[in-house]
Structure 1
Amino acid sequence: MNRRNHPVPLHEAAEDSPTFARLAQLARESTERLKAIESLIPAPLRASIRPGPIEGTTWCLLVDSSAAAAKLRQLLPVFTAKLSSRGVEITAIRLKVGSLQR
């Protein structure tokens, strides 16, 4: 067993561990999904949304206010259709409201 006594960059750790590699892949995929629907999100709301976890065919968006979530809830069918047209297997988009760290 080769133990490292020095810090390892995240990308190296991800390459060495299947679990970290999968998490890194899901984080990239979530970010790509948000970029794919960004043009459908009203400009004033874009800063209040962050990509969240992907669990199977369900994706979560992190939203910083309930007002923003209420508006986004109306757009979820449009988001799902857009992602499906790009070949993303998605059955639901969840919204999680909370303070976003920036």
Structure 2
Amino acid sequence: MASQPPKPSPGSAPLPPGTRGIDQALAGNQALGSLMQRMRESEARLAAIRPLLPPPMRPHVKAGPIDEDGWTLLAGNPAVSAKLRQMLPTLMNRLQHSGFDARAVRVKLLSPT
């Protein structure tokens, strides 16, 4: 059975014949596949700690990069950054109890765009 070409997302132009979709390209490249895996883990870590964040703070916290040294939380403003730093022991405890390895958690302030 021949594979179907990827369907374009609404509002985008169809892909030319022979063009691979992003999922196929990522799956076929080890470095990009590793990047996607780290991005998924970063989002999963944020999902694990999100219930601990005060509701008004949640939209101002983003999942950042994860590497061999640790995971970065991105804060939308200095007040959120300060509160996250105060909460680090609680957040790290939640991550460990959620099955994530005990990497350091860093907090960085998002630069304004």
TM score, norm. by length of structure 1: 0.86
Q: What is the CA–CA distance in structure 1 between the aligned matches of 2:24 and 2:112, rounded to whole Å?
A: 27
Instruction: Work out which of the residue numbers 24, 27, 35 in structure 2 matches 1:23.
Output: 35
Q: What is the CA–CA distance in structure 2 between the aligned matches of 1:25 and 1:64, rounded to whole Å?
A: 24
Q: What is the CA–CA distance in structure 1 between the aligned matches of 2:18 and 2:60, rounded to whole Å?
A: 37
- 8 Å CA contact retained: 1:63, 1:100: no
Structure number with higher relative contact order (C-alpha < 8 Å, ≥ 6 residues apart): 1
Instruction: Work out which of the residue numbers 83, 87, 92 in structure 1 matches 2:95.
Output: 83
How far off its partner does 1:99 sit?
A: 3.8
Q: Specify every segment of 5 or more residues in structure 1 that has no aligned partner in the other structure, as ranges.
A: none
Q: 1:100 to 1:6 in 2, by over 3 A?
A: farther
Count of aligned positions: 97
Q: What's the CA shift string for 1:51-81, capped at 9, x where partnerless? A: 0111115100111111110011111100100
Structure 1 vs Structure 2 CA RMSD: 1.8
Q: Specify every segment of 5 or more residues in structure 2 that has no aligned partner in the other structure, as ranges.
A: 1-16
TM score, norm. by length of structure 2: 0.78
Larger Rg: 2
Q: Which residue of 2 aligns with 1:53?
A: 65
Q: Which residue of 2 aligns with 1:70?
A: 82
